[in-house]
Structure 1
Amino acid sequence: MASSVPGPVPLPESRYNLSTYWGRVRHCSEIADPFMLFTTKADLDKARGIISAYRHGELKHTTPEFWHAKKQLDSTVHPDTGETVLLPFRMSCCVLSNLVVTVGMLTPGMGTFGTMFWQWANQSLNVAVNSANANKSHPMSTQQLITNYTMAVTASCGVAVGLNKLVPRLKNLSANTKLILGRLVPFAAVVSAGIVNVFLMRGDEIRKGITVYDKHGDDVGKSKKAAFLAVGETALSRVINATPIMVIPPLLLVKLQKGVLKGKSMGVQTVANLGLILATSFAALPFALAVFPQYQSIHVNKLEKELCGKKDKNGEPIDKVYFNRGI
């Protein structure tokens, strides 16, 4: 990210108003822009020069060139190390990297082995992306990474295989209802694993609390209640992010298979499935990512008692604090 370029002048967080939902949608669209995958090393060197000029006061105002440089760095470079993130694991490659495993998970009629393979592939990709973009100031131990990976794979495979065996046995349901429920099994598995992932990866935050800041950016203290809110919203955001991509395409495919795709070959149906997932991912992902703001404020009365009654550096009472929800 552009924040990896040092300098005394702080960078604007975004060209859009992140306090509004539409502003966050536009911001998320930029971060996930697949055209940023064509960014070269020369482009990054030029972008670093522009951002450095701003951070050292040489560039007095933001310009279209500045925003483009920031966009290139935000979508390509790790914020802590300043190193280029491996291409398949960048935010700008999010849709394309997930396309193959999503198509695999949503392919109708897979057996137990196929179901388990694609759930394993999805969680392996999730762990790789999380590891490549993780906060390097507090790296996860190898044991924690293995535990998180094992629990996520177990949860997703267990839910997927279990529901695949349960749905056909349900009585008093029409064949069409069973068909729809069967197509939604991958969604239930991905959501379950996503929630497990979040609470395992960020369990220390809930146990120890996260740092909250006043309006000047000064450290006020640590709050377990703010941590629980941050982790809970992140877990919910995983559900929201997965919903359009894992629900809309399979339901549309059921409809199409009864109409224009009826009697078509498996190859044609696979291409249709691929197109549905790709279109839904590009259209819906920014709207899903933008539901919760990354940086939030909360009244101190809703947090621990020891955080109440404090004053900022100007001697004014602190009634609101701010925290980073994370992603």
Structure 2
Amino acid sequence: MSASPKSLLEIDISKPRYDQSTYVGRAKHFLQVTNPLNVFATSNALENARSIVTKHRLKEPLPDGFTVDDLWSAKILYDSAFHPDTGEKMNIIGRMSAQVPMNMLITGGMMTFYKSTPAVVFWQWINQSFNALVNYTNRSGDAQLSNSHLLTSYAAATGGALTTALGLNHLVKNASPIIGRLVPFVAVAAANCVNIPLMRSQELMEGTPVYDENGNRLGLSKAAARDGIIQVTFSRISMAAPGMVLVPFVMNRLERQGTLRKVPWMTLPIQVSLVGFCLTFATPLACAVFKQKAEIKYTNIESELKEKLDQQFGDNPPNTLWYNKGL
């Protein structure tokens, strides 16, 4: 779609291309942002995307022949690699576009080697190390965590996952094989409930930035941080559920039919492939459950922030505030 330089500058790229008030619009947005192919973008491509976005924000002329689709492609690539609050380039493994390739390998390993205690310890440790990096990379606002805080959060989440996995394995060792195959999912869900709040605990203690409808920062809200962390935790568990719940039933059936006994070396490749297929769709669909630019009502924020806004706005404070919930 060709467009004049002036009309390109009139496009509002501060918001996603698709309507974020609807689930379908959010799903379309995250299908593009979490596209695994974005991981392979070169440093030059990412810097070019940042340059295009920066020029557009400053109302500077864009390259000759630039189209609307070119502009949105640059914005999507920018969103996939740069933090929405700080503008910093995110660690490549922590980006949401790396979720599918990384999680399919790690999850496949957890679900294949779930019986051996050393293997459970190894794969849960790998998974929590990856989750800790993702949670830190995609934290809301510009929160900074000390090394000791990061280490404490990481150790607690890893310990929680290992305790859950090993404890459940002991409890279900005489149960149906399908029950044993579901243990990794329960461990992952439990760990998410520990890892995400701990990794973002500074937001809970100090608050996450909240803004008015024009993007003006109004202060920090602990209530918004709490709501955002709850939403992210739910989304992460939903993201893992299809692959870690449905695939075990498929693998259990293949085992009962004797297929895996004939070619046992295919167990890992089959599970990784099936999990990857599930994650390709589950990742963007789970991210889209809640709005990225989340809302919180004035009546639901803490009293300290209310007092500040009352002083600033008098009898007419904003009814709704917005914040980045994180991913």
Structure having the larger proportion of residues in helix: 2
Higher RCO structure, 1 or 2 (CA under 8 Å, sep 6+) = 2
The residue correspondences of 1:96-245 to structure 2 (distance < 5 A) are: 96-107=101-112, 110-133=115-138, 137-169=142-174, 178-245=176-243
TM-score, normalised via structure 2 length: 0.84
Q: 1:302 to 1:246 in 2, by over 3 A?
A: same
Contact 1:212 1:220 in 2 (8 A): yes
- Name the SS for the 2:295 alignment partner: strand
The answer to whether the 8 A contact 2:115-2:169 is kept is no
For 2:87 and 2:226, how far apart are their aligned partners in 1? 30
Change (3 A) 1:112 1:222: same
The question of whether the paired residues in 2 share the 8 Å contact of 1:312 and 1:318 is answered with no
Q: Tell me how far apart the structure 2 counterparts of residues 323 and 250 of structure 1 sit (CA, whole Å).
A: 38
SS in 1 for 2:322: strand
Residue number in structure 2 paired with 1:58: 60
- State the 1:181 CA deviation: 1.5
Tell me the CA shift for residue 109 of structure 1.
Answer: 5.4
The Cα RMSD (Å) is 3.0
Give 1:157 deviation, angstroms: 0.6
Amino acid at match of 1:103: G
**Matched residue type, 2:93:** P
> Quick check: 1:296–1:323 contact (8 Å CA) kept in 2?
yes
Paired-residue identity, %? 36
| Residue aligning to 2:283 | 285
Matched-pair contact (CA < 8 Å) for 2:53–2:74: yes
Q: Who is 1:75 aligned against?
A: 80
- 5+ residue gaps in structure 2? 1-10
Q: CA deviation at 1:186?
A: 0.4
Query: How many aligned positions are there?
Result: 313
Tell me, what secondary structure is at the counterpart of 2:21?
Answer: coil
C-alpha distance after superposition, 1:166-222 (max 9, x if no partner): 0135xxxxx5xx222111110111111111111212223233333433323334444
Normalised TM-score (structure 1): 0.84
Compared CA separation, residues 84 and 207, structure 1 to 2 (3 A): closer
State whether structure 2 residue 301 is matched by structure 1 residue 299.
no
Q: Which letter does structure 2 place at the counterpart of 1:323?
A: Y
Contact 2:53 2:78 in 1 (8 A): no
Q: Tell me, what secondary structure is at the counterpart of 2:112?
A: coil
**1:21 CA displacement:** 0.8
Is the deviation greater in 126-135 or in 140-149? 126-135
Tell me what 1:4 maps to: none
2:32 counterpart of 1:30? yes
Q: What residue identity is the alignment partner of 2:248?
A: P
In the TM superposition, residue 156 of structure 1 has moved relative to its aligned partner by 0.6
Q: Any unmatched runs of 5+ in structure 1? A: 1-8, 170-174
Whether the aligned pair in 1 keeps the contact of 2:211 and 2:323 (CA below 8 Å) is: yes
Judged with a 3 Å threshold, the aligned counterparts in structure 2 of structure 1 residues 319 and 48 are, in CA distance, closer, same or farther, namely closer
